[in-house]
Amino acid sequence: FLSLVAEFCCGFFVILILGNFWFLAVLYLLWLYLDWETPCAGGRRSQWVRGWTVWKYFREYFPIHLIKTSELNPNHNYLLGFHPHGVLVAGAFGNFCTDPPFKNLFPGLTPYLHIMPIWFGCPFFREYIMSAGMVSASKESVSHVLNNKGGGHASVIVIGGAEESLNAHPGSLTLNILKRKGFIKMALKHGAHLVPVFSFGENELFKQVANPKGSWLRNVQEKLQKIMGFALPLFHARGVFQYSFGLIPYRQPIHTVVGSPIPVKQNLNPTTEEIDQLHALYLQKLKKLFEEHKSNYGIPAHKSLIFE
């Protein structure tokens, strides 16, 4: 969905340049230059955009549900690790970029969904995603959110990143997380409490062309991901009037479960050992969250998370 909107925005910008409205394009480029750092400085959210009626229908299509398992004290800042990435990241968008799911369950907390910086270079589209509460996934941006002295901020980071989308097959429980420790270091440096979040059903929205590790397709996808910064999963789902083929996601329930916070004491210069210890604890809490709730959402008892 976001990719389609981005393509439309870029197309509109090209029309302005090639048409009789080139001066508007020049003015916008000037604005883009002056406003370049905003995605790293908390963005520019709009409660009006986040409350659009269309988001209610978007959440009801799957449907998307947000499940609270513990209180999050708004006097603290939090770093929420979202898993898995899936193809669409529908649970993250529906729950953290639209109102009222999150603010009803966690009053006093403001969520910021961190996404790849490349999206903020897209003309006009950047204004829309910032209005929904999305900000850059850069270290500078995460620091800005977590540095709020009064608490009440929640950074939401899709830990597996674009690379994990290549594992987004129905039934897949593989998470790219063993080497991803940057979010742990950020939590320590800012004293932000860590919260594991697992979105059941996220990988069921699309079918992806078989791309096992070592296959020629996977090798090409991984090389392109390293070059461009984002992955290109080959996926399909249903159409508008038929269910056999198309790009519209399947109507599969998504249950995004927010776990209990892991208290983190601020440490401006954490050692590698301290980072590894907190990372191991986070993995333990994430696995526990999954095991406690998997039976509620159709996951067989013998299946468990795979960390790689």
Range of the domain at 133: 39-307
Residue 93 in tokens? 């968008």
Q: Tokens representing 263?
A: 């208290």
Residue 243's pLDDT is: 80
The pLDDT score that the predictor gives to residue 9 is: 64
Residue 220 lies in a domain: yes
> pLDDT per residue over 142-196, tens digit each?
999 999 999 999 999 999 998 899 999 999 999 999 999 999 999 999 999 999 9
Task: Please give the tally of structural domains in the chain.
Answer: 1
Whether residue 288 is contained in a domain is answered as yes
What one-letter code names the amino acid at 257? V
Q: Is residue 11 part of a domain?
A: no
Residue 13 lies in a domain: no
The CATH number of whichever domain residue 105 belongs to comes to: 3.40.1130
pLDDT tens-digit profile of 108-128? 999 999 999 988 988 888 999
8 Å CB contact between 197 and 102: no
pLDDT at res. 13:
61
User: For residue 306, how far is the Cα from the chain centroid?
Assistant: 20
Query: From residue 36, how far is each of 25, 31, 42, 123 by CA, in Å?
Result: 16, 8, 12, 11
Beta bridge partners of 99: none
What is the DSSP code (8-state) at residue 149? T
Q: What is the DSSP letter of 192?
A: P
End-to-end Cα distance, the chain: 28
Kindly state the average pLDDT of the residues 15-39. 83
Examine residue 12 and state whether it is found in any structural domain, yes or no. no
Give the span between the Cα atoms of 248 and 103, in whole angstroms.
Answer: 28
The answer as to whether 21 is a domain residue is no
Is there a domain that residue 72 lies in?
A: yes
List, for residues 47-103, the tens digit of each pLDDT value.
999 999 999 999 999 999 999 999 999 999 999 999 999 998 999 999 999 999 999
